[in-house]
Amino acid sequence: MRYAIALMTVALLWTGCRPDIEMYPTATFDTLGVQWMVIERNNMTYYYQGTGVKAASIYSDLHEEAYDRLEAVFNPVLPYKLRYFVWTDWKQAQQLFGTPEWVAGLAFSRSCMCHVRADINLGHEMTHVLAYWAEGVEPNSYSRFINEGVAVAFDQRDHDKMEEAKNTVSQYSLNSITELWADSLETAPHELIYPVGGAFMEYMYSNTTRSEYIALLKNQALPDAEKVFGKERLDRFIADFDSQLGL
């Protein structure tokens, strides 16, 4: 028995060894009433409201990897390096920005800046900025359905987006995704438009060429998208996607 106890002790001590984590904080920065811990990396500059150095270093590692994956998709040419503000007290940010309760992140694409709650999906806000600057060209027109859709499609979550969209539409009375796409007053509930938009933009990524997909990102309004694909072809995409959703 004493040998068993010795074996357990050795094993537990061995498993308790410290891992190697590189520490990256490079500076502090005061703005918005917060002293931010700054981590300067290749792709982005990270600003942390918290002071947990190891977690922030790993967090920035994960985001750098995500950025690399998204960069291969969008080939973004940004006018400035992306600044990524990570809030650990998100209520403070919500008061500051006046956002609704359900919003977990904000992307200011034109100025290459994101403000996020710490646990937001890895790629969502980053995708807003990278898609906006895809190929270094700003969009001609905007649609919430396409804009949020692409951010959900590339949010780096590993889950079945079509299945999620199907489950969501079953709870709403929706006849076609064109109702969401043409919703210029942005009245569609976010619980519906995000998952359906995400599944649609994933569908379009699989069924169009890269240049067509980038053109869609630059011409997000429905009439503009019809010019990109041709009305007949786009209608076929929409009809096929609607039927996959069970509409």
Write out the residues near other proteins by the rule CB under 8 A. 4, 7-8, 11-12, 14-19, 48, 50-56, 58-59, 62, 86, 88, 118-119, 122
| Beta carbon of residue 3, minimum distance to other proteins (angstroms, whole number) | 8
CB 129 within 8 A of CB 67: no
| Beta carbon of residue 119, minimum distance to other proteins (angstroms, whole number) | 5
Q: Which is nearer to other proteins, 13 or 185 (CB)?
A: 13
| Beta carbon of residue 118, minimum distance to other proteins (angstroms, whole number) | 5
Q: Which is nearer to other proteins, 52 or 223 (CB)?
A: 52
76 — phi, psi (to 5°)? -75, 145
Strand pairing class (44-48; 34-40): antiparallel
Strand pairing class (44-48; 105-108): unpaired
Q: Which is nearer to other proteins, 9 or 171 (CB)?
A: 9
| Beta carbon of residue 174, minimum distance to other proteins (angstroms, whole number) | 30
Q: How far apart are CA 172 and CA 181, in angstroms?
A: 16
Q: Which is nearer to other proteins, 37 or 217 (CB)?
A: 37
Q: How far apart are CA 151 and CA 217, in angstroms?
A: 11
In the numeric block, which tokens belong to residue 108? 């200011």
Q: How far apart are CA 61 and CA 229, in angstroms?
A: 38
